[in-house]
Amino acid sequence: MNPFERAAHNMPIIIIRHAETQENRNRIIQGHRPGQLTETGRRQARDLSLTLLKYGRLDQIISSDLERARETADLISKEIPPCKIVHETQLRERCYGRLEGRPVYQLKRLLIEHKRDLRALWIPDGEPYEDFELRITDVYRRLIAGNPDQNSIVVTHAGVIQVILVKILGRTWWDIGNCEGFRLSFTVNGNAEVHSL
Closest by CA to 80, choosing from 139, 16, 128, is: 16
Q: Could you tell me if 66 and 32 are in contact, meaning their C-beta atoms sit under 8 angstroms apart?
A: yes
Q: Could you tell me if 145 and 160 are in contact, meaning their C-beta atoms sit under 8 angstroms apart?
A: no
Residue 192: strand pairing partners: 186
For the CA atoms of 34, 40, 45, 49, the dihedral, rounded to the nearest 10 degrees, stands at 180
117 falls within a domain: yes
- Give me the tens of pLDDT residue by residue for the chain, a chain 197 residues long: 455 554 444 567 899 999 999 999 999 999 999 999 999 999 999 999 999 988 887 888 999 999 999 999 999 999 887 778 999 999 999 999 999 999 999 998 988 888 877 788 889 999 999 999 999 989 888 876 666 677 889 999 999 999 988 876 676 666 899 999 999 877 777 677 888 88
- Distance between CA 81 and CA 101 in Å, rounded? 36
**Count of helices and strands (H, E) across the chain:** 6, 6
- Distance between CA 2 and CA 13 in Å, rounded? 17
For the CA atoms of 146, 147, 153, 157, the dihedral, rounded to the nearest 10 degrees, stands at -20
Q: Which domain holds residue 31?
A: 13-196
82 falls within a domain: yes
50 falls within a domain: yes
Rg of the Cα atoms in the chain: 16
8 falls within a domain: no
pTM value is 0.90
55 falls within a domain: yes
Tally of domains in the chain: 1
pLDDT, one tens digit per residue, over 9-21 is 456 789 999 999 9
pLDDT, one tens digit per residue, over 36-52 is 999 999 999 999 999 99
7 falls within a domain: no
35 falls within a domain: yes
5 falls within a domain: no
CATH number at residue 71: 3.40.50.1240
